[in-house]
Structure 1
């Protein structure tokens, strides 16, 4: 009789335990109640790091195997590996699916060559940037940028060379060094300098592919040609094979 009561108790306890191990999310990926949920995640299990991603990561012995599902049809929505329970730091291959089970995005968070997990990282492919700006005259600039952060907000360090004309009809070269901070909310702010001027620009970014900005250029010496000064309108283009540079368009099915 005692054994029978124990079995009944365990049968009643298991569904309650499973529910407590489930995390529910709303459409904005914030934790919510089951009634308001759009996705859910069963308690992740831990996997040895080398078994999960194929290589060892410094100071990380194991990773959580994350699987998220659509609550209305239990279809897999995301799968990947993370060093934390909340899946804020992904490692290895990650995949996203729509409600029909079709994969809509994938990414490989590969830190094999950078196992110290430092905040800054030079990407495999440098970024080619082209910029056109106009203040009291036009300026065409081209060069290379490097993305210094892995987060959704990107910090770009760039160096290049520009060509501008002056009032005497001659063309002059201007070196360019700049930092551009592009946020996930499609806004950016950029500050830079040449041998003749310093400038600051802010505005809208189209997924980090195109930056449209308005700002001001400050000449170091107004008496030395060429001067490049005044309110500035600019447009920049980025070309790279590193897809992590571009902000992804979140698709919610």
Structure 2
């Protein structure tokens, strides 16, 4: 009897993982936050592919600070609503509200303001960035293109 429960549990875990991968994308981005920053991470989309959805995920920032390479973790959340983008990101050095536009959830163009929260103010002031989302071939991460 235990074998049947183990097999059922294994099948449910595989199914859940498959659904997670359908709404996940890898991101590559450039941002200017008072300094040049390269960013890579994951995005997970919650919601339908038409209209509003929430996009959240972790990422890793890379920048050259004080003659040393620095890798900084970041978490972010976006609300995507038919081409409009509203978001918030947080890392150990700043909190950054963002607004922007999205092109079918493939490209994000955003701007914001980084509020420093650490005594070392690596990130501060007006920010802007461009982000490319790379999803698997049959993923449900991208918005469908409507052709009239």
Instruction: Give the TM-score of the pair, scaled to structure 2.
Output: 0.79
Give the CA deviation at 1:174: 0.9
Match of 1:195 in 2: 92
Mind listing any 5+ residue stretches in structure 2 that lack a counterpart? Answer: 1-14
Q: Does 1:154 align with 2:53?
A: yes
Q: Does 1:248 align with 2:144?
A: yes
Which of the pair has more CA radius of gyration? 1
Give the CA deviation at 1:155: 1.1
> 1:14-51 CA deviation, whole Å, 9 max, x = no partner?
xxxxxxxxxxxxxxxxxxxxxxxxxxxxxxxxxxxxxx
RCO comparison, higher one (Cα < 8 Å, 6+): 2
Ranges of 4+ aligned residues in structure 1 off by more than 4 Å: none
User: Number of residues paired by the alignment?
Assistant: 130
RMSD (CA atoms)? 1.9
Task: Give the secondary structure class of the aligned counterpart of 1:148.
Answer: strand
Relative to its length, the structure with more strand (as a share) is 2
Q: Which of 68, 84, 94 does residue 170 from structure 1 map onto? A: 68
Instruction: Give the TM-score of the pair, scaled to structure 1.
Output: 0.48
Contact 1:129 1:238 in 2 (8 A): yes
Match of 1:238 in 2: 133
Mind listing any 5+ residue stretches in structure 1 that lack a counterpart? Answer: 1-112, 115-120
> 1:120-139 CA deviation, whole Å, 9 max, x = no partner?
x7343631011211021011
Task: Give the secondary structure class of the aligned counterpart of 2:140.
Answer: helix
Measured in 1, the distance between the counterparts of 2:140 and 2:93 equals 34
